[in-house]
Amino acid sequence: MSWCYGLDIGGSKIELAIFDPQLQVQQRWRVATPTQDLPAFIKVVSAQIARADALCGQDAKVGIALPGVIRADGTVISSNVPCLTDQPVAALLTQQLARTVVIGNDCRCFALSEAVAGAGKGYRKVLGYILGTGAGGGFCLDGQLLPGRVAGEYGHIAISALVAQRHQLPLRQCGCGLLGCVEPYISGTGLGRLYQHYTAKAASSVDWVNAYRQQDTLAQQTFEVYLDILGAHLAGLCLTLEPDCLVLGGGLSQIPELIAALPAAIQDHLFAGVTAPLVLAAEGGDASGVRGAAILAQFKQE
């Protein structure tokens, strides 16, 4: 292992963290993301790398976590940063910086971070899953990401027909263009939308948490339905991947009631002889994306 930089690209901010060979953060900062102008984006990222080089006194390895899909030809699809769509971002930055730059999906970087140096450390098969504005993750075996460009876009698996019928849920349009993806139901916004469905008034996931902790009947009903949706979805992934542990990240992972209730909700959708995995909250917090990107740079370049 060597010194490396991890960058997490979001729709509003770019975060850079400098990691030493033991993957400890030495410096980190954030700047605004240019979302509409590609040359401006390249300029801002290059300036942050130059700043990091000056602090480290060396040209360290660079890994970037980016929301969206990285195509086989190296171009990306990014709804959060439109100027990057259809652009070979890694190649452009590699040329600009005169060193190899690797890019990975941000949810997959999260999974890698937690498997190598977070809550999943020490487990052979780790399923990392972010429940935030969207829903997605990655699967790691022996500290290595399962290969693939879209392996981790779990939020775009269809909602269980059984669960949708059981609770008479409306089919929702997903931002990806498909109808009936599970993401609009299990993401943070999805939980708020589900609570709104039962209360018939505007609500968010924060509103739900407050009401649930005040023992509101509709909030409790919402939670039961939400757990059924998420439990069925994750049970399918468990039957496919058979993880030793499931590490949750994103805003919803900060709800202890969800972490505690999820194993039983998954178990309800597994047949006899199959046991739900251990469910853990992520340890890396909002640093997991940058750390995963840094680890990705190490694996890709060594």
The per-residue pLDDT for range 70-94, each reduced to its tens digit, is 998 999 998 889 999 999 999 999 9
pLDDT tens-digit readout, 189-244: 999 999 999 999 999 999 999 999 999 999 999 999 999 999 999 999 999 999 99
pLDDT digits (tens, 9 = 90+) for 113-133: 999 999 999 999 999 999 998
Tokens of 63: 């890994």
Classify residue 139 as exposed, middle or buried by CB count within 10 Å of its CB (0-12, 13-18, 19+). Answer: buried
Euclidean distance between CA atoms 84 and 259, whole angstroms: 35
**Per-residue pLDDT at 7 exceeds 80:** yes
Tokens 């590609």 — which residue? 38
Mean residue pLDDT across the chain? 94
Q: What band does 44 get if pLDDT is binned at 50, 70 and 90?
A: very high
Q: How far apart are the first and last CA of the chain?
A: 9
Widest distance between CA atoms in the chain: 60
Angle separating helix axes 217-241 and 188-199, nearest 10 degrees = 140
Encoded tokens for 208: 């739900």
How much is the pLDDT for 301? 47
Q: Kindly tell me if the per-residue pLDDT of 184 is higher than 60.
A: yes
Q: Between 300 and 89, where is the model more confident?
A: 89
**Would you say residue 276 has pLDDT above 60?**
yes
Q: How confident is the model at residue 302 (pLDDT cuts 50, 70, 90)?
A: very low
- pTM (2 d.p.): 0.94
Whole-number Å distance between alpha carbons of 194 and 219: 10
Nearest to 259 by CA among 227, 298, 216: 227
pLDDT in the model for residue 285: 78
- Dump pLDDT digits (tens) for 234-270: 999 999 999 999 999 999 999 999 999 999 999 999 9
**What pLDDT, in 10s, does the model give residues 141-182?**
999 999 888 899 999 999 999 999 999 999 999 988 999 999
